[in-house]
Structure 1
């Protein structure tokens, strides 16, 4: 089944490891066969891997983008997922961790990536709540 990408002007994406950028007008790209495609908003740079959930997301992203060498990133994924699951007590988030792991084991890397994105969003919401709580506990002087 073809994959249809609607692209904004200047939008970048990775296609089988190549960075591609749309021109100055909206565009549509139709992929007729299986390919690894990742939009710019889903691409994480190595320097942005600065939290537990991001340390899960990054190796999953690398497995997706470089499926032929996925084994190189698997041990890092397992280590980081084990650490994360040891620290998280929320049953829904733990279920997302299990689902992410199952997708990785089945080599369904895009599905695993989307589940890992949920872990990053959960972590960011928790950190935002902590930051808000800290601001509320320190009144302005």
Structure 2
């Protein structure tokens, strides 16, 4: 099944670790085979990893982009996820954490990333809460 990617002018994306930037016009690409691809909006830079959920997202992203060297990333992921699971009380957030773990263990890193992104609003709300 092909993946159609519509890109804005100047939008960047990563294909199997290579950063590619679109030119000055809107364009569409059709990816015909299986590759690890992330749009700029889904890429987290190391210096942006400043919250518990981002500390989970980042190693999953690295597993996705560099599956040959996934072992240290998986160890970091498991450590960070277990830390988060110990403090999260919200049932929906816990369920998402379990879903993330299941997808990672199956090697479905992209799916795990998309579920993890759903935790960002929950985390933001909790971090901004002041009793």
TM-score by length of 1: 0.89
How many residues were matched structurally? 131
Partner Cα distance (1:25, 1:125) in 2: 37
Structure 1 consecutive aligned stretches of length 4 or more whose deviation exceeds 6 Å: none
By how many angstroms is 1:116 displaced? Answer: 1.1
Partner Cα distance (2:121, 2:78) in 1: 20
Q: Residue by residue, what CA displacement relative to the aligned partner does 1:64-91 show, whole Å, maximum 9, x if unpaired?
A: 1111111220010000000001010000
1:15-34 paired onto structure 2 within 5 Å: 15-34=15-34
TM-score by length of 2: 0.96
- 1:122 matched to which residue of 2? 122
Q: Which runs of 5+ in 2 are unaligned?
A: none
Contact 1:100–1:112, Cα closer than 8 Å, also in 2: yes
Could you say which structure has the larger radius of gyration? 1
1:84-99 paired onto structure 2 within 5 Å: 84-99=84-99
By how many angstroms is 1:118 displaced? Answer: 1.3
By how many angstroms is 1:125 displaced? Answer: 2.6
Q: Which runs of 5+ in 1 are unaligned?
A: 135-141
- 1:68 matched to which residue of 2? 68
1:1-141 paired onto structure 2 within 5 Å: 1-128=1-128, 130=129, 133=130
Does 24-33 or 113-122 show the bigger shift?
113-122
Contact 1:57–1:120, Cα closer than 8 Å, also in 2: no
Partner Cα distance (1:42, 1:126) in 2: 22
Q: Residue by residue, what CA displacement relative to the aligned partner does 1:83-120 show, whole Å, maximum 9, x if unpaired?
A: 00101000000000000000000000000111111122
Partner Cα distance (2:50, 2:75) in 1: 18
